[in-house]
A and B are shown apart, each in its own frame.
Chain A
């Protein structure tokens, strides 16, 4: 099983700050990596797939990078609506696995 490790677990940030979230895979997943955003009481929303391709309707302030085992989600200027939990997911191998999440909270 590919273990996905996200860091940090919690990120305290101010609106307007640049934010970088990390996701590490225990073995290479190539570029088969997706990022999701989840707000309280809501289903997750796809942000990024293929490690760096923004999903339809996702603002340009969200960007993804990386391949192999190291991945990054960057939010260039955090908006109030971006305070949420972010999950990475690999889909290169079965079982599909998610990271434990990074919570972006207001400083």
Chain B
């Protein structure tokens, strides 16, 4: 059974940093593209960043480029999102999600439970 277990959310000051983690099990993590998607309170889904499985290529939304870094540790089956220079509009529930393969297609067949990031002074 596929499981994505998230950790690392919480309250952070504007301009602060936070790292999210997503521990995966039940599939071959190193061969799977992984993604972070966020959802601001009462809003829709927003793609944040993807780390592909085969060529270790990363893609990120313009809204987070230069501030957020997606990474993965295949030895630990864990995906990370390092978030720096956090702003109020980064506040959201962050989901990790897996795709069905290492590269295209980039839809999401399993999701983590979500972790809340609050940015406030």
Q: Show the binding face of B for A, using Cβ within 8 Å.
A: 35, 44-47, 50, 59, 61-62, 95, 100, 104-114
Contact = CB atoms under 8 A, between A and B. Distances in A.
Contact of A97 (B47, B105, B111): B47
A55 interface: yes
Given A87-B44, A95-B61, A98-B47, A43 B107 contact: no
Interface centre among B44, B62, B109 (most CB of A within 10 A): B44
Nearest 6 CB-CB pairings of A with B: A43-B111, A34-B107, A96-B47, A91-B106, A98-B45, A49-B107
Contacts, number: 55
Interface of A: 32, 34, 36, 38, 43-46, 49-50, 55-56, 87, 89, 91, 94-101
Contacts of A45: 111
B62 A32 contact: no
A49 B107 CA distance: 7
A32 B105 CA distance: 8
Contacts of B105: 32, 49-50, 91
Contacts of B44: 87, 98-101
Contacts of A94: 59
Most buried by A among B47, B59, B107: B107
